[in-house]
Amino acid sequence: MKLAYWMYAGPAHIGTLRIASSFKNVHAIMHAPLGDDYFNVMKSMLERERNFTPVTASVVDRHVLARGSQEKVINNITRKDQEEKPDLVVLTPTCTSSILQEDLKNFVDRASMDSIADVILADVNHYRVNELQAADRTLLQIVKFYLQKFKLSNCLQQIKTTKPSVNIIGCVSLGFHNQHDLAELKRLFYDLNIQINLIIPEGISVAELKNIPKAWFNFVPYREVGGLTAQYLKDICDIPFIDIVPMGIIQLSNCIRAIQNILIDQGEKIDYSSYIDRQTRFISQSAWFSRSIDCQNLTGKKAVVFGDATHASAITNILVNEMSIKVVWAGTYCLNDAEWFREQVKDICDQVVISDDHALIADLIAETEPNAIFGTQMERHIGKRLSIPCGVISSPVHIQNFPLSYKPFLGYEGTNQIADLIYNSFTLGMEDHLLEVFGGHDTAKSLGSTLSNKLLMDWSPEALEELSKIPGFVRNKVKKNTEKFAQDCNVKQVTLEIMYRAKEAIST
Amino acid sequence: MTSTKNIKQTNNLTFECETGNYHTFCPISCVSWLYQKIEDSFFLVIGTKTCGYFLQNAMGVMIFAEPRYAMAELEEGDISAQLNDYEELKRLCAQIKKDREPSVIFWIGTCTTEIIKMDLEGIAPKLESELNIPIVVARANGLDYAFTQGEDTVLAALAQRCSQLKSNDLSSDYIVNHKPLIIFGSLPNFVNKQLTLELANQGITVSGWLPSSNYIDLPNICPGDYVVGINPFLSRTATTLMRRRKAKLIVAPFPIGPDGTRAWIEKICEVFGLEPKGLEERESRIWSSLEEYIQLLKGKSVFFMGDNLLEVSLARFLVSCGMIVYEIGIPYMDKRYQKAELDLLQATCIKMGVIMPKIVEKPDNYNQIDRIKDLKPDLVITGMAHANPLEATGINTKWSVEFTFSPIHGFSNSKDILELVTRPLRRNSSLPNFDFKL
């Protein structure tokens, strides 16, 4: 047993449902107790979905516990088959119902005899994989199932498209800014004169999977989902793939060059270097921005980064190599991808953190006292408690991470978006100088209401007043440093004089 | 105004039961309001990642405020009995005791502890004496219960602890001219006070509340004491109080809406042989303060999909407001515990001259949506899973969960209910009509 208050990645069935609900006309049935269909609430709330989420539960109740599901699961599958006429029904247990060890495979086989839809059982172990791994596996399972089916019926489209084309694999519902990233990727490939053959799975029907082999290559924008499918397609259909995350200017150009090489290998005569140059200089503002005077103040600022492997590694790269910010530590909760992550960031930050324990991350942040945090919603709240600004760069997310306006993280527009996010997370320029001269501007609030920790030492009224003038987000730090200084000097009371001396001592 | 086609006219309430394929919250969600209510408690939910994920997302920002709740997340070793439940729980509870110093730890059993048959009730007394802290076990699982019934299981378990704490010396403090009355059901403290005051105006003293805002202040319940519920989902608690504590249950409508509140107080007065004073005036004053909302609701139709067991009481109130109720979906219907409420619903329908609604237990959401498409009600009260998709087809919805998290009891909070119910209607009349499709 583990005492847990919070988890970064959800249970396995969420991953399966995210894949199933990304496809068009695929219905998922959960073999689950009442109340486990919370996925529908998230889908409908976070994505503000207009359609009913194609997920229903075959409810496991006391009777099922006593006698087994018997015909219930089969009836629910065939019923959905008639009501919704889906192409595919995916049956998935949850953590709970998976320990019932009912022969769900048998139910699936029997139900598929009576239904027009294909029926498969999501093949994931609920105690060994998390949401993201399960999504990766379920996507592979569905693609594999249909490739084999189409192969048998001889309708697999083997001939490549005449012009270069690509499959984008791994854009999934409830993904962090996935919809916007997808639009940005479409634009990128349009610019590169590459046709988009398929986007898997977002928005396609399973019948379209027969066109997979027509693509010249596969593109996997995120580490977490799609990798297994791309590897399978390379092994089976000999389709090469690129899995460089196109986030940030440097990685983008690496990514485009890799695409170039793949196409040259297949006989195309192309050169994308002028495109990269043009985009970097004119479309993306971030390269120029990081050289501008405004951005100079960022130099050497301390940041910490935490999130999924894709976003945390890419943001670390951007902070260090594109904006000369010091990343004290970078971390991920994707324990299964630790090695890859370490490889990506080990040379550009002081420490690599691999953990899914939010308390440990909170302690690390408190210890590090960075100028800004880039993390998930959890880190945002940790930042709030410590008065450290935080930019949210990765799921788990809230509804505000499903913005209405166009906010991709990938591609050239993504670089602008990220630059804004980073810049706005730091307290900069004038604000910074105001802090330096102690006065600040945020003096409206009274001392008592914003000073969370109680004073450890006696403060003279003048010193207290001075403290109250310091802007809220650094006040605690100033207070702590001053008290420490006073203690070191064996002083009983913090006076204005001590305060200034402390400041001098710290700044020299 | 809606037509009433397809609805058969009857003079009796009709009861149906469907497949039970409906959306609701898992009963462990009761943790989110009970840990706030019982201030010296700690809730340990013994379950899997699925339970944790639900709580984490359903509780929203509460989760960041260091709640007095945690998951005891079961791992593969726990499921396959490679680890010893007793030792594991001892380790976790010792840590909780050290870090948080609660007066009581609640163990919330889940579906998983049911399936692997973890003997929580057996382990708890042993650990209780070993760690020297009360441990209360409640099986709030999705195999047996829906949403608010979670609170019922917790209060039923708590009821067993009531008289072990102190001797019955309450009555010596002040003069009570009737048998002790204990009210059960968790409410925000200010609503407790409002209802206590309403009864005090009738000369009735409330001897205690189950739950109290601190575990150590649990009321004493002796054989022969009277108990009354304030929520329709507390049938197990009522049964426990009657059978185990030998208390007498006052079966009354629930104090939701001015009509319900008055009927609730009148019933208590009747049991104690007191003549209600000034209730009629009080009720009509509340009604007149609601006039503005009632104008909006009159003649409009409403459909309850059913997920929190408050449905019958809310439907009865809305009929009083002049609405037509097509269907009352409800997870579970205890006709004995809710008898007075059902009678009042029937009487209200006759009084208002509207059709008797159909009560559908264990509804089937798919079929319901079919019926909603046919009936086109002016308002559907439903869970968040269906709200946006229904809005997208042009049907007004109100998120049902808000009724469980808002103060809705007593005379003074009737306005809050109508504030919630009319919000979609007010919102839509304040939005412009576009000459293009959304």
Q: Report DSSP state, residue B299.
A: T
The residue with greater pLDDT, B125 or A429, is B125
- Are B287 and B418 contacting, i.e. CB atoms less than 8 angstroms apart? no
Residue of B nearest to A55 (CA): B385
Residue B174 has pLDDT above 60, yes or no: no
CATH topology of domain A458-507: Helicase, Ruva Protein; domain 3 (1.10.8)
Lowest mean pLDDT among B164-173, B327-336, B387-396: B164-173
Pairing between β-strand A2-4 and β-strand B69-73 as defined by DSSP bridges: antiparallel
Q: A296 falls in which pLDDT band (50, 70, 90)?
A: confident
- Are A27 and A54 contacting, i.e. CB atoms less than 8 angstroms apart? yes
Lowest mean pLDDT among A30-39, A180-189, A203-212: A30-39
Residue A328 has pLDDT above 60, yes or no: yes
Range with top average pLDDT, A281-290, A446-455, A460-469, B312-321: B312-321
Q: Average pLDDT, stretch A296-312?
A: 92
DSSP string, B251-276: ----SBHHHHHHHHHHHHHHHTT---
- Dist. CA B416–CA B404, nearest whole Å: 12
DSSP string, B126-148: HHHHHHTS-EEEEE--TTT--TT
* pLDDT attached to residue A434: 63
* pLDDT attached to residue A480: 83
* pLDDT attached to residue A243: 95
Whether A288-438 shares its CATH topology with A458-507 is answered no
For the record, the structure tokens of A146 come out as 């249909």
Percent of chain B beyond pLDDT 90?
A: 82
The backbone torsions φ and ψ at residue B185, rounded to the nearest 5 degrees and listed phi first, read 130, 140
The backbone torsions φ and ψ at residue A89, rounded to the nearest 5 degrees and listed phi first, read -115, 125
CA distances in angstroms from A447 to A354, A463, B107, listed in the order given: 38, 12, 41
* pLDDT attached to residue A428: 58
Residue B1 has pLDDT above 60, yes or no: no
Q: Average pLDDT, stretch B43-71?
A: 85
In the chain, the amino acid numbered B389 is: P
Among residues A103, A277, A294, A350, which one is catalytic? A294
Mutate to test the interface with B, among A34, A42, A61, A357 (most CBs of B within 10 A): A34
How many H-runs (helices) and E-runs (strands) does chain B carry?
A: 18, 14
Q: Are B27 and A35 an interchain contact pair (Cβ–Cβ within 8 Å)?
A: yes
Residue B156 has pLDDT above 70, yes or no: yes
ipTM field? 0.90
DSSP string, A142-154: HHHHHHHHHHHTT
Residue A257 has pLDDT above 80, yes or no: yes
Q: Report DSSP state, residue B24.
A: -
Residue A133 has pLDDT above 90, yes or no: yes
Query: How many C-beta atoms lie closer than 10 Å to residue A268's C-beta?
Result: 14
Q: Is B81 on the interface with A (CB under 8 A)?
A: no
Considering the domain delimited by B27-145, tell me its CATH architecture: 3-Layer(aba) Sandwich (3.40)
pLDDT (tens digit per residue) in B267-307:
999 999 999 999 999 999 999 999 999 999 999 999 999 99
Contacts of B26 in chain A (CB under 8 A): 33-36, 38
* pLDDT attached to residue B63: 66
For the record, the structure tokens of A231 come out as 């590897």
Residue of B nearest to A382 (CA): B64
**A73: number of CA atoms within 13 Å, CB side?**
32
Residue A245 has pLDDT above 80, yes or no: yes
Considering the domain delimited by A165-279, tell me its CATH architecture: 3-Layer(aba) Sandwich (3.40)
Q: Are A96 and B48 an interchain contact pair (Cβ–Cβ within 8 Å)?
A: yes
DSSP string, A400-431: GGS-SS---SSHHHHHHHHHHHHHHHS--HHH
Residue with tokens 């059960």, as numbered in its chain: B184
The backbone torsions φ and ψ at residue A344, rounded to the nearest 5 degrees and listed phi first, read -65, -40
* pLDDT attached to residue A438: 55
Q: Is B174 on the interface with A (CB under 8 A)?
A: no
- Are B143 and A69 contacting, i.e. CB atoms less than 8 angstroms apart? no
Count CB pairs under 8 A between chains A and B. 162
Cα A181–A187–A193 angle (5° rounding)? Answer: 140
- Dist. CA A38–CA A219, nearest whole Å: 32
- Dist. CA A477–CA A456, nearest whole Å: 13
Q: Report DSSP state, residue B432.
A: P
The listed CATH number (3.40.109.10, 3.40.50.1980, 3.40.228.10, 1.10.3720.10) that belongs to domain B181-272: 3.40.50.1980
Percent of chain B beyond pLDDT 70?
A: 92
Residue A249 has pLDDT above 80, yes or no: yes
A42 is in an annotated binding site: no
* pLDDT attached to residue B175: 57
**A10: number of CA atoms within 13 Å, CB side?**
26
Q: Does domain A12-146 have CATH number 3.40.50.1980?
A: yes
- Dist. CA A206–CA B343, nearest whole Å: 53
Residue A445 has pLDDT above 60, yes or no: no
Cα B217–B338–B298 angle (5° rounding)? Answer: 110
* 3 state SS of B107: strand
Residue with tokens 């409410």, as numbered in its chain: B187
The answer to whether residue A294 is catalytic is yes
* 3 state SS of B103: coil
Q: Are B386 and A44 an interchain contact pair (Cβ–Cβ within 8 Å)?
A: yes
A459 forms beta bridges with A494
CA distances in angstroms from A208 to A121, A146, A205, listed in the order given: 21, 10, 6
A414 is in an annotated binding site: no
pLDDT (tens digit per residue) in B330-358:
999 999 999 999 999 999 999 999 999 99
Domain boundaries, chain B: 27-145, 181-272, 279-430
Q: A450 falls in which pLDDT band (50, 70, 90)?
A: very low
- Dist. CA A493–CA B335, nearest whole Å: 70
- Dist. CA B438–CA B431, nearest whole Å: 13
Q: A430 falls in which pLDDT band (50, 70, 90)?
A: low
Residue of A nearest to B43 (CA): A5
Q: Average pLDDT, stretch B358-368?
A: 96
Residue B326 has pLDDT above 70, yes or no: yes
pLDDT (tens digit per residue) in A211-231:
999 999 999 999 999 999 999
Q: Are A40 and B23 an interchain contact pair (Cβ–Cβ within 8 Å)?
A: yes
Contacts of B29 in chain A (CB under 8 A): 35
Q: Average pLDDT, stretch B415-423?
A: 94
Q: Are A2 and B48 an interchain contact pair (Cβ–Cβ within 8 Å)?
A: no
- Dist. CA A408–CA A416, nearest whole Å: 9
pLDDT (tens digit per residue) in A106-123:
999 999 999 999 999 999
Residue B157 has pLDDT above 50, yes or no: yes
Lowest mean pLDDT among A368-377, B158-167, B242-251, B348-357: B158-167
pLDDT (tens digit per residue) in A136-185:
999 999 999 999 999 999 999 989 999 999 999 999 999 999 999 999 99
Q: Are A62 and B63 an interchain contact pair (Cβ–Cβ within 8 Å)?
A: no
Whether B27-145 shares its CATH topology with B181-272 is answered yes
- Are B234 and B155 contacting, i.e. CB atoms less than 8 angstroms apart? yes
A429 is in an annotated binding site: yes
Q: Average pLDDT, stretch A36-40?
A: 91
Residue A95 has pLDDT above 50, yes or no: yes
- Are A419 and A290 contacting, i.e. CB atoms less than 8 angstroms apart? yes
The backbone torsions φ and ψ at residue B382, rounded to the nearest 5 degrees and listed phi first, read -150, 170
Q: Is the dihedral of CA A502, A506, A507, A508 positive or negative?
A: positive
* pLDDT attached to residue A231: 98
Q: Are B388 and A95 an interchain contact pair (Cβ–Cβ within 8 Å)?
A: no
Q: How far is A402 from chain B (nearest CA, A)?
A: 15
Domain boundaries, chain A: 12-146, 165-279, 288-438, 458-507
Considering the domain delimited by A288-438, tell me its CATH architecture: 3-Layer(aba) Sandwich (3.40)
* pLDDT attached to residue A205: 97
* Top CATH class, B279-430: alpha beta
Residues sharing a CB contact under 8 Å with residue B323, sequence separation 6 or more, in sequence order: B297, B298, B299, B300, B301, B302, B354
Sheet holding A390-392, edge to edge: A351-354, A326-332, A302-307, A372-375, A390-392
* pLDDT attached to residue B381: 97
DSSP string, B310-352: -HHHHHHHHHHTT-EEEEEEES---TTTTHHHHHHHHHHHHHH
Averaged pLDDT of chain A: 89
pLDDT (tens digit per residue) in A365-384:
999 989 999 999 999 988 88
Residue of B nearest to A97 (CA): B112
Using only the alpha carbons of chain B, give its radius of gyration.
23
Residue A446 has pLDDT above 80, yes or no: no
CA distances in angstroms from B264 to A403, B151, B240, B313, listed in the order given: 47, 21, 21, 12
- Dist. CA A176–CA A224, nearest whole Å: 12
- Dist. CA B315–CA B398, nearest whole Å: 14
Q: How far is B189 from chain A (nearest CA, A)?
A: 25
Q: Is B307 on the interface with A (CB under 8 A)?
A: no
DSSP string, B219-245: PP--TT-EEEESSTT-HHHHHHHHHTS
